[in-house]
Amino acid sequence: MKSPTIKLLYIVVWSVSGKLNDQNPITSDVYSQSKVRVMQDGHQDPIPSDVFNQSKVYVMQDGRHLPEYHGYERPCPDAEHIAPCVCTYDSVYNAMDLNCSAVESEEQLKQIFKADFPFKNFNHFDINLNNNIKVLEVGVFNGISFEIIHMSSNNLSVIESQAFNSCYETATEINLWENMITSFPFDDVSLFPKLSYFRLSINWFQSMIPADAFHGLTALEHLDLCCNFGDIVGTFQDLPSLQSIYLSYNSLTTIPAHFIKTGSSDLSYIILDHNDIVSVEPGAFDIVYGLAITMGYNSLSTLDEATWRPYLEVGGVLLAEANPLVCGCDIAWLYGEDQLLLQIGNDATCSDGENLRDLDPKIFDLC
């Protein structure tokens, strides 16, 4: 399931086409003027709000508002009350982060969030490479919120319904890459209006993954459900900011009309490799200039003109290596004057192994 080969291929695809997330606030010296109000006894005083009452200063380049703890020297909770979690505050990025990677049990995690937190809104939350948390329980965060939730390469298997309820209004990024999740509250996904990056790849969904759960997430830019061997049911619609969608290594067999109809004009990648796709209906995807669709390692026996011409005609690219294509008259359209063949990746082969690029176009004269 988590074979190194799959992981490697996947990482390559992701890093070639995916976007690393930059969270760069303005680094101008606006922030070097921040007023530190730590009294002599260590007590911290609130900074009068009008110090920041300049809308230009208030919103950072990445759209984040200056957090309420801006200007404090030590906004973190006391280290000993939250150990082994570690809170760090970066005054340049204005980010207070919490790293609980070393947490020893679910009970300990729960206790930690009962400590006194002077500020409740963190930027990053991390639990990575941890074997001790299997169930993420509802209520565990006790009202503490995060913008970026990164829980990767753990043994998490169950995310309880509403486990992230303190983050509905704040989360922009949820990354649960490479866990053992079999149970996830997909019904909660629509409750994250700012979510722009959602990654649930390399988990153990052998059951259903409901595509409809993502409908209407207007901020969502990157959606990654790769490598779950899951049964993706429904359609991905009304995602007007979507740029990339990764659905490789699942169990898709037939792609219906409107399968990925996001309405986004920024859609750049639809990744469907390593499923068991035998057919794609016309109108399955958005038609967007320059869209790359990858369909490698599936079971397509033909490339229907009605399905594929609309994408290629607007400069799209289709990668279709390792499909058992029957190279008969139904692909003759690729060899016409408009030379659409050039927009099929150069690894596509007929079922007998011959490369589509090597076929003599004359064989289609009689079609």
CA distances 137 to 130, 204, 271, Å, are 16, 19, 32
Query: Which is nearer to ligand NAG, 50 or 358 (by Cβ)?
Result: 50
Q: Does 153 bind ligand NAG (CB under 6 A)?
A: no
Q: In this chain, which stretch among 96-104, 160-168, 243-251, 290-298 interacts with ligand NAG, using CB under 6 A?
A: 96-104
Q: Does 101 bind ligand NAG (CB under 6 A)?
A: yes
Tell which one of 131, 207, 301, 346 touches ligand NAG (CB under 6 A).
131
Q: Does 49 bind ligand NAG (CB under 6 A)?
A: yes
Token pair in block for residue 167: 């983050």
Question: Containing H/E element for 237?
Answer: strand 236-237
Number of residues that bind ligand NAG (CB under 6 A): 9
CB of 262 to ligand NAG, least distance (A): 31
Q: Cβ(78)–Cβ(115) under 8 Å?
A: yes
Tell which one of 24, 155, 206, 254 touches ligand NAG (CB under 6 A).
155
CB of 137 to ligand NAG, least distance (A): 17
Q: Residues 6 or more apart from 160 whose CB is under 8 A from it?
A: 135, 136, 137, 138, 185
Q: In this chain, which stretch among 57-65, 98-106, 183-191, 270-278 interacts with ligand NAG, using CB under 6 A?
A: 98-106
Token pair in block for residue 367: 């079609």
CB of 180 to ligand NAG, least distance (A): 7
CB of 204 to ligand NAG, least distance (A): 10
Burial class (CB in 10 A: 0-12, 13-18, 19+), 128: middle
Write each residue from 51 to 90 as x if it is in contact with ligand NAG (CB under 6 A), else as -, in one continuous string: --x-------------------------------------
Tell which one of 22, 29, 41, 50 touches ligand NAG (CB under 6 A).
50
Q: Does 105 bind ligand NAG (CB under 6 A)?
A: no
Interaction residues for ligand NAG, span 269-288 (CB under 6 A): none
Query: Which is nearer to ligand NAG, 123 or 262 (by Cβ)?
Result: 123
CA 160 to chain centre: 20
CA–CA dist 117, 80 (Å, integer): 12
Q: Does 135 bind ligand NAG (CB under 6 A)?
A: no
Q: Residues 6 or more apart from 189 whose CB is under 8 A from it?
A: 195, 198, 213, 214, 217
Tell which one of 126, 221, 224, 273 touches ligand NAG (CB under 6 A).
126
Q: In this chain, which stretch among 48-56, 63-71, 74-82, 204-212 interacts with ligand NAG, using CB under 6 A?
A: 48-56
CA–CA dist 225, 358 (Å, integer): 35
Q: In this chain, which stretch among 5-13, 45-53, 200-208, 301-309 interacts with ligand NAG, using CB under 6 A?
A: 45-53
Query: Which is nearer to ligand NAG, 82 or 344 (by Cβ)?
Result: 82
CB of 199 to ligand NAG, least distance (A): 16
CB of 134 to ligand NAG, least distance (A): 7
Q: In this chain, which stretch among 62-70, 97-105, 331-339, 345-353 interacts with ligand NAG, using CB under 6 A?
A: 97-105
Query: Which is nearer to ligand NAG, 90 or 354 (by Cβ)?
Result: 90
Interface residues with ligand NAG (CB under 6 A) are: 49-50, 53, 99, 101-102, 126, 131, 155
